[in-house]
Structure 1
Amino acid sequence: MIRTTRSQVTFSGPLMLPELDAPLPPGTYDVDTDEEVIEGNERTVYLRIATVIYVRGVGSTRTVTINPSVLAAALQRDAGHRG
């Protein structure tokens, strides 16, 4: 069984991730994290199997698989530029 968690991230400056061809403009982006549910005798464990960001363009949306720790670092850098 797989569970998907949707969240949103907001950047005040351009977003550049290694998985992207070019920087994305500032804005809010949807991010999905898929986790596989592994049920054990004493507890249930969730193993992350994919994190994707949705990149919306004119008339289309594409999904890009990203590294969640790199996304978290980009969010921290962006927050540092605001304050």
Structure 2
Amino acid sequence: MTFHQPFRLKALDGPQPPGTYRIVVDEKEILGVSVLAYRRTATMLQTPAIAVRSGSSQSHLVDPADLEAALEADRKAAAWS
């Protein structure tokens, strides 16, 4: 997921710099239904951004709605600049 502007998420301390971030989604199969279906169990954002050369990275459990709202705000800001 790429952000063009600094962004904030409730699960993170302070603003994050622009960049491309790895998102990891854990899902669990829903058993007992007639079609193959999955339920999201966790969404994690890895910091720092992919292009940042760092010795370590961290995974942060984030709210998918908060992540989508931050991405939408970034899209709108990029459209106005």
**TM-score, length-normalised on structure 1?**
0.83
What are the ranges of 5 or more consecutive residues in structure 2 without an aligned counterpart? none
User: 1:77 and 2:68 equivalent?
Assistant: no
After TM superposition, the structure 1 = structure 2 runs for residues 1-83 of structure 1, keeping only pairs within 5 Å, are 9-56=1-48, 58-83=54-79
The structure with more strand, counted as a fraction of residues: 1
Percent identity reads: 37
Runs of 4+ with >6 A deviation: none
User: Hey, what's the Cα distance between the residues in 1 that align with 2:70 and 2:47?
Assistant: 16
* Deviation by residue 1:17-51 (Cα, 9 ceiling, x = unmatched): 00001111000000011110023251222111000
**TM-score, length-normalised on structure 2?**
0.85
Q: Which has the higher contact order (CA 8 A, sep 6+)?
A: 2
**Aligned counterpart, 1:3:** none
How many equivalent residue pairs? Answer: 75
What are the ranges of 5 or more consecutive residues in structure 1 without an aligned counterpart? 1-8
Cα RMSD over matched residues? 1.3
